[in-house]
Amino acid sequence: PSLSGLNAGSASTSPKSNQEKEDDESDVSPHKSRPLTRSNTVKPTFEEYLERQAFCEATQQLIDREKHLFWETAEAEANKEAVEKLAADHKALEQHVWQILQQSLSLSTEEEVSALASAVKAINLEEEQDQLWRQNPQTPPAWRPSEWKKHHDEVLQKLVNGRMDNPSSPIGDQVNQSSIEAEIQSMGRQLKEDLQWVVEVVKNCYPPEMDICNFYARQYHQTFSARLKKIVGSVDDKDCSFLLRWDLMIYIGRVLDEAKKEWDQGKEPTRDDGCYVSPVAYDVIQVQLLHKLVIKKAEIDAFIKMYQTFHEDVIKQNKPHSKAFIKANLSCVEQFRDFLVEHNLFPEDVRENCLQVLTEMKQSAHTYLLTPVHKILKPHYQKLGTSDWLKKNTFEKLLNSTEDELQELQGSSQSSYQELIGQLQQEVTVEYVRRLLKGKVKLKNTKKQQKAYKIVRENAEKLHELFGSEQDWLKEILTNIAEVLRLQDIPAIQMQIVSLGSAYPDLSEEHVSALLKLKTNLSQADMNTITSTVLDTLKESYTGGETRRFFSNVVMMSPSFPTCITSCSG
């Protein structure tokens, strides 16, 4: 069912009584005094609360009566009639609460959603009262402990069983499916629709600590698994393959649930040789290899999206153990990526979609882990390309801080770690070039330009040594920029910039202008000549094809120049 315009968050409200409506209608003048009525002077009776489905208020009223009879006045022995009335009211309330619970997956009005929210609050009040009685030496009434939370779980378990026994979703394509396939598909659709309903509506009726979404997910998983086991006895090959595929997806879901459970409990992933590890990728891959099944697009899409949602939730919540989980996930992403590339178990479109999701997960993990690093390095970035950078050895502080952060970034597999710090090296190099091209330092003569040349070359070499990577291209970019600073001959400067622009067509006219402005001994006419010649040469020599991008990440302040001097996307 669909609840259009339903506001589950306002579930604690209840409709006005007839008397209240009459009062509202009769009060036509702001100066007219409201008559004293039952609605605004006396609390509703227990029966009135039940009629309004205000179960929380009804429960509190019964608890107050219970405390009065058994704790405050000790009238329970003498006033058996009051005790019997209280017991009867408690029984009536309980029946109403279970009735609304049984409608949890078929709520059709805002009032019913409000009633469910009130029932959940009532259950928690009863749990609190049970706990108080456990701490009290007096003899409790016959209905204590009421154990409503336990009964709540049992009611919902029966509800789920009933939904899976009699799914309301239409049976699938009977022509192309066996009866077993159609039955399982129907149960699967019911499961999906019900869990979506839980997330969109039922969840709003429960406090977060009751974790109702995971409760329902476990119930459906257990029930669905049990149904599969019942029909697995005698099936043909086609049905067997179909069942195995469903069993695989259930197992995969269970693996992911275990990872979520550890996350919710605040546990860090286990370590193996100093690296955080998660069983998600290993277990899922082993099951897929074992069954050698052709997984349907919808099924693998569902898993990969669930995994991505879990991954992004870990990042969003940013708990103390988030970094450990993300490092473990990076290793999983790498395993999944290698598996998809090496094994032909999926259609091409499915594989490409999964690889795209895995790439997004890797990028979000890198951003999450590296953003705090750049925040720490920012004070050192600010010294780059300044007079202090030229006169003093300020770059060493950036190197030392970066080295410390490299230690903190460890924890994923070696190859995942190398990818991560390779990304950091690229981002640090981008920031280095951006700060240099801001032009805070003025190289007024050949001597200063020679000094800047040596510093940039030394910085490039030390950065390369620090990261210990094979990304020679990043060092070469800085070396080429250093050469432009060193050269004094106009044609030589032109050739050096053409060499840089040929390798990186995303080098823009703005970048060239900023680089030349560092050499303040160049006249405006010289700069115009160099820029014009470089622009023409690169346009003529550009042949297209894939090239590595770098300068498009070096964002300059002025928007007046074209994106790249070759007018290409690289």
* CATH number of the domain encompassing residue 475: 1.10.357
Across the range 214-233, mean pLDDT stands at 76
The count of structural domains within the chain is: 2
Q: Which residue has the higher pLDDT, 21 or 151?
A: 151
**Which of 11-20, 100-109, 272-281 has the lowest average pLDDT?**
11-20
pLDDT band at 560 (very low <50, low <70, confident <90, very high): very low
Read off the pLDDT of residues 395-446 as tens digits, 9 standing for 90 and up: 999 999 999 999 999 999 999 999 999 999 999 999 999 999 999 998 999 9
Among 146, 162, 187, residue at a domain's last position? 146
Amino acid (1-letter code) at residue 417: Y
**210-to-124, 145, 152 alpha-carbon distances in Å:** 10, 20, 11
Question: Does the pTM of the predicted model rise above 0.75?
Answer: no
Read off the pLDDT of residues 486-497 as tens digits, 9 standing for 90 and up: 999 999 999 999
pLDDT band at 141 (very low <50, low <70, confident <90, very high): confident
Among 146, 170, 197, residue at a domain's last position? 146
pLDDT band at 170 (very low <50, low <70, confident <90, very high): low
The rounded distance, in Å, linking the Cα atoms of 383 and 379 is: 7
| Residue 348 placed within a domain | no
| Residue 417 placed within a domain | yes
**SS3 of residue 211 by DSSP:** coil
For tokens 């805070």, what's the residue?
440
Across the range 322-338, mean pLDDT stands at 91
Which residues lie below 8 Å from residue 464, measured CB to CB, with a gap of 6+? Answer: 471, 472, 474, 475
pLDDT at position 1, please? 46
Element (H, E) at 272: strand 271-272
The rounded distance, in Å, linking the Cα atoms of 141 and 85 is: 12
The rounded distance, in Å, linking the Cα atoms of 47 and 38 is: 15
**Which of 23-32, 79-88, 191-200, 526-535 has the lowest average pLDDT?**
23-32
The rounded distance, in Å, linking the Cα atoms of 518 and 533 is: 19
Q: How many Cβ atoms from other residues are within 10 Å of residue 120's Cβ?
A: 24
| Residue 108 placed within a domain | yes
pLDDT at position 360, please? 95
Tokens of 214: 């995971």
Among 146, 161, 178, residue at a domain's last position? 146
For tokens 């040929």, what's the residue?
502
DSSP letter at 68 equals: I
Q: Which residue has the higher pLDDT, 230 or 40?
A: 230
**SS3 of residue 407 by DSSP:** helix
The rounded distance, in Å, linking the Cα atoms of 296 and 307 is: 17
Question: 131 with 184: CB under 8 angstroms?
Answer: no
Q: How many CA atoms lie within 13 A of 354 on its CB side?
A: 27
**SS3 of residue 150 by DSSP:** helix
Please calculate the CA angle 59-60-64 and round it to the nearest 5 degrees.
120
| Residue 493 placed within a domain | yes
- The fraction of the chain above a pLDDT of 70, given in percent, is 78
| Residue 461 placed within a domain | yes
pLDDT band at 135 (very low <50, low <70, confident <90, very high): confident
**Which of 290-304, 326-340, 345-359 has the lowest average pLDDT?**
290-304
pLDDT band at 3 (very low <50, low <70, confident <90, very high): low
pLDDT at 257 over 70: yes
DSSP letter at 72 equals: I
pLDDT at position 376, please? 96
- The fraction of the chain above a pLDDT of 90, given in percent, is 45
Q: Which residue has the higher pLDDT, 399 or 41?
A: 399
275-276 and 271-272: which strand pairing? Answer: antiparallel
| Beta bridge mates, 275 | 272
- Region of 533 on the Ramachandran plot (φ > 0 left; ψ -120 to 50 alpha; else beta): alpha
For tokens 């049984």, what's the residue?
102
| Host domain of residue 490 | 382-553
The rounded distance, in Å, linking the Cα atoms of 473 and 485 is: 19
| Residue 314 placed within a domain | no
b/e string for 196-224 if b means 16 or more Cβ within 10 A? ebbeebbbbbbeeebebeebbbbbbbebb
pLDDT band at 254 (very low <50, low <70, confident <90, very high): low
Tokens of 199: 């997330």
- The mean of the pLDDT values for the chain is 81
As a whole number of Å, the end-to-end CA separation of the chain is 51
| Residue 17 placed within a domain | yes
pLDDT at position 287, please? 52
Q: Which residue has the higher pLDDT, 499 or 565?
A: 499
pLDDT band at 233 (very low <50, low <70, confident <90, very high): low
pLDDT at position 392, please? 80
pLDDT at position 297, please? 61
Across the range 302-308, mean pLDDT stands at 80
DSSP letter at 202 equals: G
pLDDT band at 31 (very low <50, low <70, confident <90, very high): very low
Read off the pLDDT of residues 446-489 as tens digits, 9 standing for 90 and up: 999 999 999 999 999 999 999 986 789 999 999 999 999 999 99
| Residue 464 placed within a domain | yes
